[in-house]
Homo-oligomer: A and B are copies of this chain.
Amino acid sequence: MSQVKTLSASQDYPTHECGVCGIFDHEDAAKLTYFGLYALQHRGQESAGIVTSTGKEVFLHKDMGLVPEIFTEDILQGLKGDMSIGHVRYSTTGASNFTNTQPLMVHHKNQTLSVAHNGNLVNSTELRNRLEESGSIFQTTMDSEAVLHLMVRNSGPDLDKTLSETFRALKGAYSLLYMTEDTLVAVRDPDGFRPLCLGRLTTGGWVIASETCALDLIEADYVRDIEPGEVLIMKRGEEMRSIFPWPKQTPHHCIFEQVYFARPDSDVFGINVYQSRKQMGKILAREAKIDADFVMPFPDSGNYAAIGYAQESGIPMEMGVIRNHYVGRTFIEPSQSMRDFNVKVKLNPVRSLLKGKRVIIVEDSIIRGTTGKSRVRALREAGAKEIHMVVSCPPTMHACYYGIDFPTSSQLIACNKNVEEIAEYLGLDSLHYLSLEGMVEATGIPKEHYCLACFNGIYPIAPDQKYHKDALATKVVKG
Interface residues of chain A, those whose CB is within 8 Å of chain B, are: 1-9, 12, 28, 31, 34-35, 38-39, 41-42, 45, 49, 56-63, 66-69, 71-73, 75-76, 78-80, 98, 104-113, 129, 132, 134-139, 141, 148-149, 152-153, 203, 213, 216-219, 263-265, 267, 272, 274-275, 299-300, 303-304, 307, 311, 316-319, 321-326, 328, 330-332, 334-336, 338-339, 341, 344-345, 348-353, 478-479
Q: Give Cα distance in the complex from A272 to B322, angstroms.
A: 13
Contact B319 A78 (CB under 8 A): no
Contact B275 A353 (CB under 8 A): yes
Closest to A67 in B: B326
Contact A5 B59 (CB under 8 A): yes
Show 24 A/B contacts (Cβ-Cβ < 8 Å), sorted by A: A2-B75, A4-B59, A4-B75, A12-B107, A38-B324, A39-B345, A41-B324, A42-B326, A76-B332, A98-B98, A113-B137, A135-B149, A136-B137, A137-B152, A264-B322, A265-B321, A265-B350, A267-B351, A272-B353, A274-B319, A275-B352, A304-B319, A307-B318, A317-B317
Which residue in B42, B68, B217 is a CB contact (below 8 Å) of A344?
Answer: B217
Q: Give Cα distance in the complex from A318 to B275, angstroms.
A: 10
Contacts of A352 in B (CB 8 A): 267, 272, 274-275
Q: Give Cα distance in the complex from A8 to B68, angstroms.
A: 28
Contacts of A111 in B (CB 8 A): 9
Q: Give Cα distance in the complex from A267 to B350, angstroms.
A: 9
Contacts of A307 in B (CB 8 A): 316-319
Contact A344 B78 (CB under 8 A): no
Contact A272 B350 (CB under 8 A): yes
Contact B139 A105 (CB under 8 A): yes
Which 9 pairs across A and B sit closest by C-beta, in order of nearness?
Answer: A9-B110, A272-B352, A41-B326, A265-B322, A106-B137, A4-B78, A107-B138, A3-B61, A265-B348
Contacts of A129 in B (CB 8 A): 109
Contact B3 A1 (CB under 8 A): no
Given contacts A28-B335, A317-B317, A328-B68, contact A6 B57 (CB under 8 A): yes
Q: Which of A59, A324, A345 has the most CB of B within 10 A?
A: A324
Contacts of A35 in B (CB 8 A): 334, 338, 345
Given contacts A6-B58, A317-B307, A317-B317, contact A107 B264 (CB under 8 A): no
Number of chain copies forming the complex: 4
Closest to A9 in B: B110
Closest to A306 in B: B319
Chain B: minimal CB distance from A263 (Å): 6
Contact A139 B107 (CB under 8 A): yes
Contact B1 A1 (CB under 8 A): yes
Contact A345 B217 (CB under 8 A): yes
Given contacts A137-B107, A322-B274, A326-B42, contact A332 B31 (CB under 8 A): yes
Chain B: minimal CB distance from A349 (Å): 7
Contact B28 A328 (CB under 8 A): no
Q: Give Cα distance in the complex from A75 to B5, angstroms.
A: 10
Contact B350 A325 (CB under 8 A): no
Contacts of A105 in B (CB 8 A): 7, 139
